[in-house]
Chain A
Amino acid sequence: MDTFSFLIDGFALAIQPANLIYAAIGVLIGTAVGVLPGIGPALTVALLLPVTFKLDPGGSIIMFAGIYYGGMYGGSTTAILLNTPGESASVVTALEGNKMARAGRGGPALATAAIGSFVAALIATAGLAVLAPYLVKIAVKFGPWDYFGLMLIAFVTVSATFGSSPLRGLTSLAFGLWLGLMGIDQLTGQARLTFGVPELLDGVEVTTLAVGLFAIGEAFFVASRHLYKPEKPIPVKGSIWMTREDWKRSWKPWLRGTIIGFPIGALPAGGAEIPTFLSYTIERKLSKNPEEFGHGAIEGVAGPEAANNASAAGTLVPLLTLGLPTSATAAVMLAGFQQYNIQPGPLLFTQHADLVWGLVASLFIANVMLLVLNLPLVGMWVKLLKIPLPWLYAGILVFASMGTIAANPSVTELLLLTGFGVVGFVMRRYDYPIAPAVVGLILGPLADSALRRSLQMSLGDPMILLQHPSSAIMIGIAVVALVAPFVFRGLSKFRQDED
């Protein structure tokens, strides 16, 4: 049987009324739990996994796909409306999305996120079906040196999120790098900056930092200004739907985000965050109105959201073909498969082809269901902002701390969360950008171990980074991206002087 007829069979299974209902329930509860600040898709899926065990394998996988997409969409909803990303991959979404919401354009922001996620997931799932076996061959060839090159590119692009002052942006990034040092070093087992506290040996959770800086810091900041500059309930101006102009500005970022997200997601250590940074930077560079960035540019929501969802489909490539979970969510999905005695791996495509295509079809269906259910709900989500401020922020704090407790019930973790909240407040007050700190915490340890693994394999010879053409090219791109703006600025200044 060929791919196509398997896919038809998969759809025949997925489209049965009972399964459609499972998909709808999955999407609904996934969104409902994922929308809580501090609870990202991984935790959502982990929490709801037991619910699916009660169904037959087919129904369960479909519901599972629904929960997964629902959880991801729920995470971006809070990032946009409340500036409290529930996971690291929606940090970038909060940058422009929340500005849009504050300008009364929360509806279009949510809509472009939902439709962008839909488009990206649709294309990426198709890519998964067709390209997975080939893509994975390239992905495993990616050595530590190549990862280091990719990290360098990602680091350079972070500067797009720096805001008005490079000094303050770099300081924020350095703070993230510093936090990234904390804990046991994976390569040697050496503890760094743990000060004898055993709870710090595992390092700082990215979620704790993101929720602390964004949600708790925001609450501190808004409260501190409340007396003098009371925040008015945000008005919903104009239509909650996307205008023709919005569509025109969104479709290209959706496609570009997908193209960036899917292959990086397919890398065994690619993750969902790097594509969102890259997409944001590219949209900013390509935009006809770059001055809108930082004040609510729709491209800055459309691109990263598409990249995020495409990379999520990308992580299924190593999961299904190698049995290799490359994200927390994928690890939970693996546990879900194993519950049914299905071991993802090189034999899955040959031994359980029906199941793979059933899953692909379920992803399609869940994706459609997400759009069908959530677009009408945009209006309801936007109304969240009408809750009186005291209760809104009180609720955010309760759910944010609950998310932290749920992931790790320790007082140390809560103290860290509060500490990051205070830092987030100080950073907001003195105009330090927040996102680079989160980026530093994610990229720092990855770059550190990629570089040191390379040097360990080459017995300390740094030339290994340039001997492999792929890593040499990526390092070259990073250097050009770093130097070029200065050169161009110098040139234009020079010309101005001549005038």
Chain B
Amino acid sequence: MRNYFKLGLLAAVVGGTLGFGTLQASSQDLELTIMAPAGAGGGWDSASRSMQEAMMASGNAKSVQVINVPGAGGTVGLAQFIGSAKGNPSQLLVAGITLVGASISNQSPVDLTQVTPIARLTGDPLVIVVPKDSPIKSMDDLLATIKKDVATTIWVGGSAGGADHILAALVTKAAGADPSKINYVAYSGGGESLAAMLGGQATAGVSGYGEWEGQIKSGDLRALAISYPEPIEGIEAKPLKGQGLDIELVNWRGIFAGPGVEGADLDALKSAVEKTVKSAEWQAILKTRGWTDYYAPSNEFKAFIGSETERVKTILTSIGLAN
């Protein structure tokens, strides 16, 4: 991940010295529309708007518009996108792991394997915390608590079937308990569940690291582990993988084109997004937003979507949210 950052800086510097004249004419002419399948203000919306800003500022597209189509964890927007963007090289979609889960648990006829992956963009770690005066001091303590009595181990986190719930289920399973017996109390988002954590009503909590960073740094919450596969600079908590648990779950976001977009059209989109991701503008956005770079090019991302869909489906089935 750090390497990508350096690479990005390098690319930006090189791009800067070479000047604008060398940019491909084709990518400069791109007029794109990015759909965020969620309302204004959320994660996908800000990712779309940041992409818009970076693509235009780095000269990789002439104009970019963002439209919001909220509804049902993104499946409403996805269904509309599959219909309207078929073979249309000027339409893009920003989505992430939540949409994978929502497609499965809403039994939606559409899912992310039906669109054309362009690139994986960001991947934010989830964090597992306990209240500051909890007797649980480490992941091992938490696993022991779960194994002792899975029902009284109360988890709090975001909505049912979301990434937080999935991570809690994975940890429960790793502790040797039945994941379908997990006592996971869902809240509408990282905010309300935070209040439940601070109020001491829960044993453990899961959220995006960024949402609870303030409380972790101030010592109001004790972070036991992050779900990212490698340690991250500036985050004290160690990855689950470094603590003997083979669990990796990242809240990733990626960008997609419609079904049936191929050939030169697809190549133009891929190169425009790749150049944007490696631009100084995008790296600056990542920094201000506190997002973690998780870039993967089209082919790698495509395989990743397939494996992620299978994995999420297995977990949701084990906690009884899918059949």
- A and B: direct contact (Cβ < 8 Å)? yes
Q: Inside 8 A of A379's CB, which chain B residues have their CB?
A: none
- A202, A324, A332, A344: the one contacting B71 at CB < 8 Å is A202
Residue B148 is within 8 A (CB to CB) of chain A in the complex: no
Residue B144 is within 8 A (CB to CB) of chain A in the complex: no
Min CB–CB distance A197 → chain B (angstroms)? 10
Which A residues are within 8 Å of any B CB, using their own CB?
Answer: 46, 139-144, 184-189, 191, 198-199, 201-202, 268-269, 318, 322-326, 331-332, 335, 338, 341, 343-348, 407-410, 453, 456-457, 459
Q: How far is the CA of A167 from the CA of B156 in the complex (A)?
A: 40
Q: How far is the CA of A306 from the CA of B162 in the complex (A)?
A: 38
Q: How far is the CA of A424 from the CA of B32 in the complex (A)?
A: 42
Q: State whether A345 and B218 are in contact (beta carbons under 8 Å apart), knowing that A189-B159, A189-B321 are contacts in the complex.
A: yes
Q: Is A198 a contact of B106 with CB atoms below 8 Å? A: yes
Cβ contacts A to B, 6 pairs, < 8 Å:
A186-B160, A324-B192, A326-B191, A409-B69, A456-B185, A457-B185
Q: Is A186 a contact of B215 with CB atoms below 8 Å? A: no
Q: Is A268 a contact of B214 with CB atoms below 8 Å? A: no
With both beta carbons as reference points, the residue of chain A lying nearest to B159 in the complex is identified as: A186
Q: Inside 8 A of B72's CB, which chain A residues have their CB?
A: 184, 198-199, 201-202
- B46, B79, B201, B215: the one contacting A335 at CB < 8 Å is B46
Q: Is A187 a contact of B192 with CB atoms below 8 Å? A: no
Q: Is B218 a contact of A322 with CB atoms below 8 Å? A: no
Q: Is B194 a contact of A322 with CB atoms below 8 Å? A: yes
Q: State whether A456 and B194 are in contact (beta carbons under 8 Å apart), knowing that A341-B288, A408-B39 are contacts in the complex.
A: no
Q: Is B217 a contact of A331 with CB atoms below 8 Å? A: no
Q: Inside 8 A of B76's CB, which chain A residues have their CB?
A: 198-199, 201, 410
Q: Is A324 a contact of B195 with CB atoms below 8 Å? A: yes
Q: Is A198 a contact of B218 with CB atoms below 8 Å? A: no
Residue B161 is within 8 A (CB to CB) of chain A in the complex: yes
Q: Is A140 a contact of B199 with CB atoms below 8 Å? A: yes
Q: Is B214 a contact of A331 with CB atoms below 8 Å? A: no
Q: State whether A323 and B214 are in contact (beta carbons under 8 Å apart), knowing that A189-B321, A408-B70 are contacts in the complex.
A: yes
Q: How far is the CA of A348 from the CA of B218 in the complex (A)?
A: 10
Min CB–CB distance B159 → chain A (angstroms)? 6
Q: How far is the CA of A323 from the CA of B211 in the complex (A)?
A: 8
Q: State whether A202 and B70 are in contact (beta carbons under 8 Å apart), knowing that A186-B160, A338-B289 are contacts in the complex.
A: yes
Min CB–CB distance A374 → chain B (angstroms)? 27
Residue B105 is within 8 A (CB to CB) of chain A in the complex: yes
Q: How far is the CA of A139 from the CA of B191 in the complex (A)?
A: 13
Those of B213-238 within 8 Å (CB) of chain A: 213-215, 217-218, 220
Q: Is B105 a contact of A345 with CB atoms below 8 Å? A: no
Q: How far is the CA of A189 from the CA of B107 in the complex (A)?
A: 12
Q: Is A318 a contact of B39 with CB atoms below 8 Å? A: no
Residue B151 is within 8 A (CB to CB) of chain A in the complex: yes
Q: Inside 8 A of B40's CB, which chain A residues have their CB?
A: 46
Q: Is A459 a contact of B191 with CB atoms below 8 Å? A: no
Q: How far is the CA of A268 from the CA of B198 in the complex (A)?
A: 11
Residue B183 is within 8 A (CB to CB) of chain A in the complex: yes
Q: Is B215 a contact of A346 with CB atoms below 8 Å? A: yes
Residue B152 is within 8 A (CB to CB) of chain A in the complex: yes
Q: Is A188 a contact of B160 with CB atoms below 8 Å? A: yes
With both beta carbons as reference points, the residue of chain A lying nearest to B110 in the complex is identified as: A198
With both beta carbons as reference points, the residue of chain B lying nearest to A350 in the complex is identified as: B218
Q: Inside 8 A of B199's CB, which chain A residues have their CB?
A: 140-143
Q: Is B185 a contact of A186 with CB atoms below 8 Å? A: no
With both beta carbons as reference points, the residue of chain A lying nearest to B188 in the complex is identified as: A186
Those of B53-73 within 8 Å (CB) of chain A: 67-73
Residue B244 is within 8 A (CB to CB) of chain A in the complex: no
- B71, B192, B211: the one contacting A269 at CB < 8 Å is B192
Q: How far is the CA of A282 from the CA of B185 in the complex (A)?
A: 35
Q: Is B214 a contact of A343 with CB atoms below 8 Å? A: yes
Q: Inside 8 A of A142's CB, which chain B residues have their CB?
A: 195, 199
Q: How far is the CA of A343 from the CA of B212 in the complex (A)?
A: 11
